[in-house]
Amino acid sequence: MTDRRGRQLLRPEISSTRATFLELFFDLVFVFALTRVSLRLVDGAGASAAGLAAEIARTGVLFLALWLLWSITTWVTSRYEPERSVIQFVVVGSMFGAMVMAVALPGAFEGRALPFVLAYLTVMVGRPLVIATAMRSHPRRTVPLQLAAWAAVGAVPWLAGAFAPDQLRLPLWVLALAIDGTGLVLGWPLPRLGAARASGWLIAGEHLADRYQQIFLISLGETILVIGLTYSGTDFTANRAGAFTVAFVTTALLWRIYFHRAGHVLAEALRVARSPGRLGASVAATHLVIVVGVLSTAVGYELVIVHPFGRMDPAWLVFVVGGPAIFLAARARFEYEIFGRVSWSRWGGLLALLLLAPVLTLGPPMVALAAVAATLAGVAIADGWRSRRRTPELPASPLLHGEAGGGDYHRTP
């Protein structure tokens, strides 16, 4: 009886591959959370080079904690039946935890460290324990227990950092993230139980593709929020109107470049993969970098809209040019994951941005953003030209036909 109840919690192969309304509701928190991340970076953009580097490191730690929470929730709903009340409870609880983290994020390295950490740990430790309890005596209940055990180990430096002096908080939290990340990569190994690497799971691949496409769109939505809020909060001058327009066009180009073929056929690639978990784990890492690139670009938007023809601070190019460059590099990897090749336009666009960066320090921010938009437009046009009068490509990833990793359909976290 208990095995049957646990088996009913697992996602059947006939389950809908579309994201549920609850998952879309869950994503709304991350629109707010990603805005908090970008605003924190904007606040640090005026600091010295050393100060900006420190702020990027601190914000990066906070963002990675949010990303781990979102990503593992996504894998949970790809492996467990999201219509079950237990899984819905887990998703809503994760949503509340993410909301608390987002609210605490602007002051997480100052006076709000403890609320941020407690919200994160409650989700990361509590969620797998709830799932393990619901699984009863099903043999797969050991995997969520492994997740909980690793999260409990990582909780030590997380909590120590929350109570430690300010100068020790960053290294302690970097250690905590290293533990959490190592557990994810290695499959949360424990003595006698071994490892349960995500690359070996046979998950609902099309659902996973849907979720990663959605988090990309959420990051684009965050850029729209930044563009609109920044422009509406300034004087409506012709210069700022121009920056507002170029920023919007840049976001539209990011959308176009992402979805041109590779983003469009991601679901099909995961559906036909012998080991969707292996491809899914690789795509997850790529989308992390893609989202970082988009968020960095959003920071650049705000700086340019506020100071379109002011003095260019060379540090601003980290966001104005660096964000799109990160996006293109990650998008090149994404193309390889899906088709086993990389278009020359990706490398050409990336090289152009890197070569232009030193020259762009000599002009105003608006010129830099316009150069970025022109480069991305060139990539998008090259993509369209390459696909003209050709049969749409089918997925041909080197990761599609690898070994399944020894797991069965119910090898689940």
- Kindly tell me if the per-residue pLDDT of 35 is higher than 60: yes
Which architecture, in CATH terms, is 205-387?
Answer: Up-down Bundle (1.20)
Buried b (16+ CB within 10 A) or exposed e, 107-146: ebbeebbebbbbbbbebbbbbbebbbebbeebebbebbbb
- What is the CB neighbour count within 10 angstroms for residue 394? 12
Number of alpha helices (DSSP H) and beta strands (DSSP E) in the chain: 15, 0
392 pLDDT tier (thresholds 50, 70, 90): confident
Q: Each residue of 361-391: pLDDT tens digit?
A: 999 999 999 999 999 999 999 999 988 867 7
Q: Write down the pLDDT at residue 407.
A: 40
Question: At a CB cut-off of 8 Å and minimum separation 6, what does 245 contact?
Answer: none
Cα angle 398-187-402, degrees, rounded to a multiple of 5: 20
- Kindly tell me if the per-residue pLDDT of 114 is higher than 90: yes
Segment among 53-67, 190-204, 300-314 with least mean pLDDT: 190-204
* Torsion angles phi and psi, residue 10, rounded to 5: -75, 150
Q: Write down the pLDDT at residue 93.
A: 97
- Kindly tell me if the per-residue pLDDT of 117 is higher than 70: yes
Taking the C-alpha atoms of residue 247 and residue 230, their distance in angstroms, rounded to an integer, is 11
pTM over 0.85: yes
Instruction: Tell the residue number behind the tokens 């809209």, with chain if given.
Output: 305
Taking the C-alpha atoms of residue 328 and residue 347, their distance in angstroms, rounded to an integer, is 8
- H or E, element range at 371: helix 365-387
* Torsion angles phi and psi, residue 23, rounded to 5: -65, -40
Segment among 43-47, 193-197, 325-329 with least mean pLDDT: 43-47
Q: Write down the pLDDT at residue 391.
A: 78
Q: Which residues make up the CATH 1.20.1410 domain(s) of the chain?
A: 205-387
Q: Write down the pLDDT at residue 273.
A: 77
Both tokens of residue 267?
């679901």
Instruction: Tell the residue number behind the tokens 């969707």, with chain if given.
Output: 276
Q: Write down the pLDDT at residue 183.
A: 94
- Kindly tell me if the per-residue pLDDT of 251 is higher than 50: yes
Q: Which residues, in sequence order, are bridge partners of residue 76?
A: none
Q: Write down the pLDDT at residue 43.
A: 86
Instruction: Tell the residue number behind the tokens 């080197």, with chain if given.
Output: 398
Q: What is the mean pLDDT of residues 188-212?
A: 83
Both tokens of residue 349?
């666009």
Q: What is the mean pLDDT of residues 296-313?
A: 95
199 pLDDT tier (thresholds 50, 70, 90): low
Q: What is the mean pLDDT of residues 326-339?
A: 95
Percent of the chain clearing pLDDT 70 (strictly above): 93
Q: Write down the pLDDT at residue 400.
A: 62
Query: What DSSP designation does 392 have?
Result: P
Taking the C-alpha atoms of residue 254 and residue 202, their distance in angstroms, rounded to an integer, is 31
276 pLDDT tier (thresholds 50, 70, 90): confident
Cβ contacts of 191-197, under 8 Å, gap ≥ 24: 193/142, 193/146, 196/143, 196/146, 196/411, 196/413, 197/277, 197/281, 197/405
- What is the CB neighbour count within 10 angstroms for residue 198? 23
- Kindly tell me if the per-residue pLDDT of 5 is higher than 70: no
Helices (H), 135-194: 142-163, 166-186
Taking the C-alpha atoms of residue 69 and residue 42, their distance in angstroms, rounded to an integer, is 24
Q: What is the mean pLDDT of residues 110-137?
A: 94
Taking the C-alpha atoms of residue 5 and residue 3, their distance in angstroms, rounded to an integer, is 5
Q: What is the mean pLDDT of residues 173-178?
A: 98
Q: Which residues, in sequence order, are bridge partners of residue 80?
A: 10
How many residues make up the chain in this entry?
A: 413
Instruction: Answer for the pair 110, 82: CB distance below 8 angstroms, yes or no.
Output: no
Closest CA to 255 of 74, 377, 342: 377
Closest CA to 202 of 147, 261, 140: 140
Taking the C-alpha atoms of residue 313 and residue 270, their distance in angstroms, rounded to an integer, is 43
Instruction: Answer for the pair 271, 202: CB distance below 8 angstroms, yes or no.
Output: no
Query: What DSSP designation does 10 have?
Result: B
Q: Write down the pLDDT at residue 81.
A: 87
Q: What is the mean pLDDT of residues 70-77?
A: 91
4 pLDDT tier (thresholds 50, 70, 90): low
3-state helix, strand, coil in the chain (%, to 5): 75, 0, 25
Q: Write down the pLDDT at residue 10.
A: 80
- Kindly tell me if the per-residue pLDDT of 403 is higher than 60: no
Task: Tell me the Ramachandran region of residue 273: left when phi exceeds 0, alpha when psi lies from -120 to 50, beta otherwise.
Answer: beta
* Torsion angles phi and psi, residue 355, rounded to 5: -75, -30
